[in-house]
Structure 1
Amino acid sequence: MKTVVHTSESRGSANHGWLKSRHTFSFAGYHNPERVHFGALRVLNDDEVDGGQGFGAHPHDNMEIVSIPLQGDLEHKDSTGRNEVIRQGDVQIMSAGTGIQHSEFNHNKGEAVHFLQIWVFPKERNIEPRYEQKAYLAEDRMNKFQTVVSPNGGDALWINQDAEFNLANLDAGTKLTYEVKHPGNGVYVFVLNGELIAANEKLDTRDAVAVTETNSFDIKAKSYAEVLVIEVPMEF
């Protein structure tokens, strides 16, 4: 098993006044040749947008884009005519495919929205653009993994890649074993809140560890902790 720790402080940052963003991987004005991507995981942005502000219409193609609001509500519009509000507890995925334009704004005027936007390189290029979102209950991930994105669909949002997204909220002392679903995949463990040990590495809030060359590893909470576990192909 190989591990590489990315501390919260080591991420890139941008402050545009209305937008405060931390970049796990190279993005926009932040470029780190050692942190361009982790396998098919290309972007993991930790964004905070002021009330009523947001990103105007802009294009994407051939990328799987996942948005997870951590606090507040995010309004989404796209060139297919869709207009949705993504709320805390929801997960959204958009397959950009042959091309799509979308905008994202804070749905509320009086409070910030804090969300993760994650990009994954697709398995199949130039598919028809698609959109899906779903609400997930926090109690369904208490001391267990809750699969929210998967190529198998079902209760999870479908993704055009052999990738899996799992959320877990752990009481202090709880230990889970993550089993890699697709042989050869790597796993990126991102701590949303709290302290835990993942793959024998100590992590704090917004720290992460990239795990490769293993079929399974343990995650143990040192305090109450919330974690996002992203499994992706290392070759694609």
Structure 2
Amino acid sequence: MTRPATHDVLVRRADDRLHTQIDWLDSRHSFSFGAHYDPDDTHFGLLLVSNDDRVTAGSGFETHPHRDTEIVTWVLEGSLVHQDSTGHTGVIHPGLAQRMSAGSGILHSEKNDAFRTDPHTPATDVHFVQMWVVPDAAGITPGYEQLDIGPELDAGGLVVVASGMPRHAGDRAISIAQRDAALHAARLHPHGVTQLPVAPYVHLFVARGDAELEGAGRIAEGDAARITASEGRRITAGAEGAEVLVWEMHSALG
């Protein structure tokens, strides 16, 4: 287990993220990604990628390969169609936990579902956050898993979305092949309060709304906090509530 030596909170503001914008995609990256590379900002803990994506109706990511990554996708608005080379298909919507294990190699596509379901509905973007963590081992069998956890989220507290940690075996929605990491999500009610996990590395992303992070101040929509030697700081949602994604990590890449 890797433990950081000192307590620290680094808040990265939404406008400071790397930005990719093309005709069908608006993507903001929390770490180096694609053509954007900063050798001092490639990951945090075990988290390799946290992309905040908007894809226009009728568009999306064509079939492309992945390998040796655990990929968790969290939809905020709209719906996203997933298809992969192992035969799995699914429509991901808000409240649905979804994980794809790339393992020894997989091909998949992700596209905005706006035109597929009803061609007469208004064209809408799909807004989602995609996160990648490093797996325990290379070359595992590719896999896919999804589960709707909307009712659990409506309660307002932290929900274990995806985890490979043994202590979450009975209460996680979906599994990942990384024993030292877990993703939590919360849809906090206005002024609602929750406590972050105690862990060597915690990554907090405010997907919607705004919140107050104990000891660090206000964090707005699109902001992230990288917390080392976390002792379970409290977060308090603002007047409109907040939706947050929290990675709890007990080791880090070298």
Fold similarity call, TM over 0.5: yes
Length-normalised TM-score, structure 2: 0.86
The 3-state SS of whatever aligns with 1:119 is strand
- Seen in structure 2, the aligned counterparts of structure 1 residues 140 and 111 have a Cα distance that, compared at 3 Å, is closer
Farther-moved stretch of structure 1 (226-235 vs 43-52): 226-235
* Displaced runs of 4 or more, over 4 A: none
Tell me what 1:158 maps to: 175
Listed as ranges, the matches of 1:130-141 within 5 Å are: 130-137=143-150, 140-141=153-154
Equivalent of 2:204 in 189, 194, 210 = 189
Unaligned runs of at least 5 residues, structure 2: 1-6, 116-122
Tell me what 2:243 maps to: 226
User: 1:23 Cα shift?
Assistant: 0.7
Tell me what 1:200 maps to: 215
The 3-state SS of whatever aligns with 1:85 is strand
User: 1:199 Cα shift?
Assistant: 4.0
Farther-moved stretch of structure 1 (214-223 vs 115-124): 214-223
Structure 1 distance, partners of 2:151, 2:22, is 32
Deviations 1:88-136 (A, max 9, x none): 2212101111111111111122221111111101112211111001111
Structure 1 distance, partners of 2:152, 2:99, is 22
Structure 1 distance, partners of 2:197, 2:55, is 35
Structure 1 distance, partners of 2:191, 2:144, is 38
Tell me what 1:46 maps to: 52
Equivalent of 2:229 in 208, 213, 223 = 213
Q: CA RMSD in A?
A: 1.6
User: 1:194 Cα shift?
Assistant: 1.9
Tell me what 1:80 maps to: 86
Structure 1 distance, partners of 2:66, 2:57, is 25
Q: Would the aligned equivalents of 1:3 and 1:199 in 2 still touch at CA under 8 Å?
A: no
Tell me what 2:120 maps to: none
Q: Would the aligned equivalents of 1:72 and 1:111 in 2 still touch at CA under 8 Å?
A: yes
Q: Would the aligned equivalents of 2:163 and 2:183 in 1 still touch at CA under 8 Å?
A: yes
Deviations 1:9-66 (A, max 9, x none): 0001111111111111110121223321101100001111111111111111110001
Equivalent of 1:115 in 128, 134, 144 = 128
Tell me what 2:22 maps to: 16
- Seen in structure 2, the aligned counterparts of structure 1 residues 173 and 105 have a Cα distance that, compared at 3 Å, is closer
Structure 2 distance, partners of 1:83, 1:169, is 27
Unaligned runs of at least 5 residues, structure 1: none
Structure 2 distance, partners of 1:139, 1:83, is 24
Q: Would the aligned equivalents of 1:38 and 1:234 in 2 still touch at CA under 8 Å?
A: no
Tell me what 1:144 maps to: 157
Farther-moved stretch of structure 1 (32-41 vs 114-123): 32-41
The 3-state SS of whatever aligns with 1:65 is strand
- Seen in structure 2, the aligned counterparts of structure 1 residues 171 and 147 have a Cα distance that, compared at 3 Å, is same
The 3-state SS of whatever aligns with 1:56 is strand
